[in-house]
Amino acid sequence: MASSSSSSLSRVVVKSSDNNLFVVNKKVASQSQLLKQCIDNMEEKGTNDVILIPLSNVTSNILTLVLEYCEKHADFADDDNNNQELKQWDHEFLKKFDYATLNSLTMAADYMVTKSLLNLCCQFIADSIKDLTVQQIRQIFDIKNDFTPQEEADIKNENAWAFR
């Protein structure tokens, strides 16, 4: 009979969409609910083999970043007191990326169900667009204005309080 303790896995292998393999420590992988779910399922089945988890939506560049985040947060998982240091690290971590990378990272965090990373990315994006003009937001997000001048005037009129 396979009890869950006898088949406890210590590491998993994660495969990126461009077919690169990453060996990930279980504690680090558990930062992602998606990976954790896979591991839990395998452990329940009592598998002793190293398991391979393919992530069809995440490239190795982005996966490297997600795993870097998970590794850091796994280190702090048992320790509430270092929150300040971790927050600082989070901020420095995201500051490095352009919007395109940030975008992919956000999507990966969503896909891999790494809630704290998703929150972090969204908060970072929210903070960075808070003080921008409409034109600047369009530019950064590469959004094409597909409104006619009349439509645009109507929208402004409809929500006049927000456009003053």
Between 77 and 137, CB nearer to another protein: 137
For residue 95, state whether it binds another protein (rule: CB under 8 A): no
Question: What are the strands, taking DSSP E only, across the chain?
Answer: 11-15, 21-25, 52-54
Taking the complex as a whole, the smallest distance from the CB of residue 132 to another protein amounts, in Å, to: 9
Taking the complex as a whole, the smallest distance from the CB of residue 72 to another protein amounts, in Å, to: 14
Burial readout 4-16 (b: 16 or more C-beta within 10 A, e: otherwise): eeeeebeebebbb
Taking the complex as a whole, the smallest distance from the CB of residue 110 to another protein amounts, in Å, to: 6
Question: What are the strands, taking DSSP E only, across 20-63?
Answer: 21-25, 52-54
One character per residue 134-163, x = contact with another protein (rule: CB under 8 A): x--xx-xxxxxxxx----x--xx--xxxxx
d(CA 76, CA 134): 39
Q: Which of 50, 52, 69, 51 is nearest to 108 (CA)?
A: 69
**List 34, 59, 76, 113, residue binding another protein (CB under 8 A):** 59
Taking the complex as a whole, the smallest distance from the CB of residue 46 to another protein amounts, in Å, to: 36
For residue 102, state whether it binds another protein (rule: CB under 8 A): yes
Return the structure tokens found at 43: 């452990």
Burial readout 66-75 (b: 16 or more C-beta within 10 A, e: otherwise): bbebbeebbe
Q: Which residues bind another protein (CB under 8 A)?
A: 59, 61-62, 64-65, 96-104, 106-107, 110, 118, 122-123, 125-126, 129-130, 134, 137-138, 140-147, 152, 155-156, 159-164
